[in-house]
Structures are given as structure tokens and as C-alpha cells.
Chain A
Amino acid sequence: MKKILLLALTPLLFTNCSVDRYEGDERIIIQGKVVYNNVPLSNAEVDVYPVYNKPVNGSITEVYYNDLNFDYNQNSISKSFTDNSGKLSLSIPRSEDTNVFVIRISRDYDSKYYGYISKYNSSNYYLNLGTLIF
């Protein structure tokens, strides 16, 4: 009987673990600009993903997909587009699982990741990414 109960409850355990939970009690504002060949990159897709990497310092640089530790779902928490000036502006709520994020810029079939967004480089719930070279 115990085995049957254990077997029945095991899928529920995994289901619960695979949910990304966020709380709206804190929100970090993220702003920046994306350029390509020194020209503002407009209408580029901007996604933010939670990751489990350990940030070394506060600088935002290009990071590589193979080095990223995504969670099971790999769901973006924020999705938007750069404006005509190549500027991006968004906010992310507090994750219950990690406080490190990466940002992905996509245009046509190309995409690049930049990181790491963490407590090291946000101040007073604000982070300016500066200019990201695509």
C-alpha cells in the first residue's frame, strides 16, 4: 500500500518542482541599448531568463549558451522588443529560485546572450546594461 501511495505521489512532486515561481514584491528595472555595426538595432526581441550560474563580477558581457545553467523549463520571464533607437526597457519580478538572470537579444535567426544580471550590478532595483554590441 505504501509503495502504491509513493508511486502515486512521485509525479506530483516532480510537477511541483518544475514550476517557476515569481513574487511581485520586488521588481528590478532594466534598461539599455543594443547596437549592430554601430547602428541602433531596432525591433530586436529581448528575453530575460533565470539561470543558476554564479556571477563573477558586476560587468555585463556576452555569455555563451553552452555555459548557461537554465532551469528545467527554460521559460523567459520577460519578453519585449527594442524601440527605433535600439533601446530596451523592462522589469523583472523576484524569482523564488534564483536571483541571477541572462538577457537574450534576437534578430531574425541570430541571437546572443548577455549576463549576468544579479545583485552585483543592480542598485536600488535598477540596472543600466549600457550599450550591448550585437
Chain B
Amino acid sequence: MKKIIFFVLFISNFTCNAQENTNPNISFAKSFQFTFGFANLATNKSMMGEAHNVAFPSVTGRLGIFHYNKFSVGLHASVHSMDVKNTQYYGYFEDTQALAIGPYISYYQPISEKSLLEPYISYDYVNYYSNYDDKKLHSESDGLGLGIDYQYKIVGMAYVTFGLKYSFNKMRTETHPNWEKYMNNYNFMSAKIGFTFSKNRL
């Protein structure tokens, strides 16, 4: 019994000291972003790019989970809907909803007393759902996103945010090797505006 009490006291003492010595550069869940804008801009020559119109609105959310100095690691999610304009290779559908989710890592750099730049890199796992009449098509892709946000502090921890992102996606589609590049490589740009809520940045 004495050993158990000693062990509990030891752990408590250790935890208390650890909390006192916590690195002030490390923090958790202190950044959240919510934006809307356009997607499927400046597409490459690909089945997905040529089949779809510009997507509006595109709604994006981002939660920073772990922060170390100016680095953040977190999760992002987005959803956008786009009309099908070319049915030749994609299929006879009316519109497509794209739902993306994945982790990201970012680094912010203050550029003035009230503004900062935050470049980031993300992994995007995307599900596409197309519909027309009583038909449904489901597709998936894996993507790499490269983006940069400009944030201007408006009050407290609120920043108005403008951002651009370019996504390099690879559809999960098996097809003839001669057509693989056209069917699977799908790249596009997104533009967004919204708000970021962050503590202790500026």
C-alpha cells in the first residue's frame, strides 16, 4: 500500500513539475479558419478539369491541433459543387460534389505589425459524387496541396484571410496506360476569403 501511495505521489509531483516546465512554444488547438471561395480554377488538361465548370462556392475549414513556435499541424476539410460541362469522357452527369479532408502543416511569418503570411502543405483525400436523374457516380483521389494565406488582424485574435492553393490530385482510377495521365492527373487552383482565429500570433 505504501508503495502505491509513494508511486501516486511521485507521478503527481512529476506531472506538476512537467506542467510548470511546459515549453511555452508548444500549444494545442489555438487556430481555426473558416473560408469560402472558388475552386476548380486554372485546371490542367485532364478528364476532371475539362469536364467541370468553376466551382462556387467552395467552403473550407481548418483546425490547427498542435503548434510549435510558428509551425502548426492540423486537419482541414472542404466541400465544393461544380456543374458538369463536358460529358464526353467523364460521363453523362449534371453536377459533382467534392468533399476533401486531410492533415496539413503550416508556418506563419509576420510581415507587419498587423499582418502575416502562412504558407502550408496539405494531403487531400477527396471523394467525388456525381448525379443525374437516377444515376450516381463515386470517385476518389489523393492530392498534394500547396497554399499560402495572407492574414490581416482586425480585432483580438480574428484575422481576415485571403488565400490561394494549388492542388495536385491523382484519381484512383485504373485505365489504359496511354490514357492514364489524362484520366488521373487532375490539378486545379482554389481562391478563398474568410476568417482565421488564432491566439498569440501578432
Name the B residues within 8 Å of A21 (CB-CB).
135-138
Chain A residues whose C-beta falls within 8 Å of the C-beta of B136 in the assembled complex: 19-22
Which of A62-70, A75-83, A100-108 is the interface stretch? A75-83
Within A26-59, the residues touching B (CB, 8 Å) are: 26-29, 47
A23 contacts B176, C-beta separation under 8 Å: no
**Interchain CB contact under 8 A, B134 and A80:** no
Q: Knowing A76-B92, A80-B88 touch, does A29 contact B176 (C-beta < 8 A)?
A: yes
B70 at the interface (CB under 8 A from A): no
- Would you call A124 an interface residue if the criterion is a C-beta within 8 Å of the partner chain's C-beta atoms? yes
B128 with A90: CB separation less than 8 A: no
Among B88, B132, B173, B177, the residue within 8 A (CB) of A27 is B173
Q: Is A90 a contact of B89 with CB atoms below 8 Å? A: yes
Find chain A residues with CB under 8 A from B92 CB.
47, 75-79
Contact assessment for B172 and A25 in the assembled complex, using a CB-CB cutoff below 8 Å? yes
Residue interface bits B73-107, CB-to-A below 8 A is 1, else 0: 00000000000000111111000000000000000
Nearest Cβ in chain B — how far from A79, in angstroms? 4
| Nearest CB on A from B91, distance (A) | 6
Residues of B within 8 A of A29 (CB): 175-176, 179
Contact B138 A75 (CB under 8 A): no
Determine which residue in B47, B89, B171 has the highest number of CB atoms from chain A within 10 A of its CB, and name it. B89
Which residue from chain B places its CB closest to the CB of A73 in the assembled complex?
Answer: B134
Task: Answer whether residue B133 sits at the interface, using C-beta atoms and an 8 A cutoff.
Answer: yes
Q: A78-B91, A90-B88 are in contact. Are A19 and B175 (CB under 8 A)?
A: no
B172 cross-chain contacts in A, Cβ below 8 A: 24-25
Could you tell me the distance in whole angstroms from the C-beta of A15 to the nearest C-beta in chain B? 9
A22 partner, pick from B138, B140, B175, B177, beta carbons under 8 A: B138
Given A18-B134, A23-B137, A76-B92, check contact A124 B176 (CB 8 Å). Answer: yes
Q: Which of B87, B135, B139, B179 contacts A73 (CB 8 A)?
A: B135
C-alpha gap A25/B140 in the complex (Å)? 8
**Residues A124 and B87 in contact, CB atoms below 8 Å apart:** no
Is B174 close to A, CB under 8 A? yes
If A26-B174, A77-B92, A124-B177 touch, does A93 touch B137 (CB 8 Å cutoff)? yes
Question: B residues 123-165 with Cβ under 8 Å of A?
Answer: 128, 132-140
Interface assignment of B183: CB less than 8 Å from any CB of chain A? yes
A19, B137: Cα distance in complex, Å: 10
CB-CB nearest 10 A-B residue pairs: A24-B139, A126-B176, A80-B88, A79-B92, A22-B137, A27-B175, A125-B176, A20-B135, A73-B134, A125-B175
> A19-B134, A20-B135 known; 9 other A-B pairs, CB under 8 Å?
A20-B136, A22-B135, A26-B175, A47-B92, A80-B88, A91-B91, A91-B175, A91-B183, A125-B179
Chain A positions within 8 Å of B, measured between CB atoms, are 18-29, 47, 73, 75-80, 89-93, 124-126
